[in-house]
Amino acid sequence: MMMGLLAFESHQGLWNSGYYSQFFGIGGVMITVAILILSTGYFGGIGAPFAPYFWPYLGQVPKKRERKRPVRVYMDGCFDLMHYGHANALRQAKLLGDQLVVGVVSDEEIVANKGPPVLSMEERLTLVSGLKWVDEVIPNAPYEITEEFMNTLFNKYSIDYIIHGDDPCLLPDGTDAYALAKKVGRYKQIKRTEGVSSTDIVGRILLSFKQKDADTDFSIAVDEKAGVKPKDEVKSHLSHFLPTSRRIMQFSNGQAPSPGARVVYIDGAFDLFHAGHVEILRSARQLGDFLLVGIHDDQSIRDRRGYRPIMHLHERTLSVLACRYVDEVIIGAPWEVSKDMITTFNISLVVHGTVTEGNSAGEIDPYAVPKSMGIFKTIMSPKSITSVSVATRIVDNHEAYKKRNLKKKASEDRYYTQKKFVSGD
């Protein structure tokens, strides 16, 4: 994973090339010869006066189009605690070109400019490379677009434009991190996705950790793992995300399985979407032709696991839809996989990973039906990481993350105070 450059398949052609019609083969040659003969008066003195009538028809013969190099755009970021806001930014960036190259900022640069990252470089690379709009990834990218790095992007990676959101990205000295790209006219801007940020998610986890009601909060699982007692009750940190059908359509592939396709189904909470989710979805997708993912609603998770998820249903839905291995999702999927559901979606195989969260002891087996039909398979989870283990990293170092959030919150508050409507997105 820590190679100099990670390349991934692009779903768009590299060349905008044309073609020669079959008609332009033998037939085209014959027409050309006939015109030349007529224009030279070879047959009975029929000569040049008639030739001009034939020339307009030459324009109807298909010509080979000029080959054009694909437009390559670059966008960078920390991508710590990957969320649908990151995914939507990269989706917008991809629309400004043909190929999207993403720089993942190094751990050292994040510490120097923002504070300690929650996820390792390897985990962040897995998350970014797992997005459907990303073509290449550059690990350990600098936080600032320096002249040296900008020239590397232009010359080594053939980058045409550098992309960033409409929110300011300032260095510790208060200067614009993208000033040089703007100066040379190679900068393009996209609209920031409202309602979420890594700072916001860290805040949700820290506030949930303080909740007193252990029966209904995510903090019970975090507290048990971290060995911490719940603190004073505070108001829940609610999401500001406003889901729309348009946003879901933007993330969706919009395709149904082809006739005879092998449909694989996997379900879960997919809270705090992490590298473990990406890897298990990759493994599931390799078992068939079409991957259908069931996402449980907030209440079902709370009822069965004893705590509500940090990210609500629609936020988790977009995170899953953004994954390149996912073809379709069921929003608010039933906890138990029924015979009717298997028939409705023509499911060939139901899978589940070996790493799970929550205590299901004494509960009815949600996979009893597919097991009885012989279409259930347990697959080895490639990573042991869970949503709770990610949250625990923040809780274990909550003082450091509180300082990081206070620093970032000031800049985010300024953004929301000064923000104006930006068209697009």
DSSP annotation string for 177-237: TTHHHHHTT-EEEEPPPTT--HHHHHHHHHHHHH-S-TTTSTHHHHHHHHT----------
Question: What single-letter amino acid sits at 183?
Answer: K
Q: Which pTM was predicted?
A: 0.76
Residues 315-353 have pLDDT tens digits of: 999 999 999 999 999 999 999 999 999 999 999 999 999
∠ CA 199-163-315, nearest 5°, is 40
Q: What is the pLDDT of residues 102-156, one digit of tens each?
A: 999 999 999 888 888 999 999 999 999 999 999 999 999 998 889 999 999 999 9
Tens of pLDDT, residue by residue over 64-114, are: 556 689 999 999 999 998 999 999 999 999 999 999 999 999 999 998 888
Scanning 263-367, the segments in alpha helix (DSSP H) are 275-285, 298-305, 313-321, 339-344
pLDDT for residue 55: 44
Residue with token string 């990293």 = 393
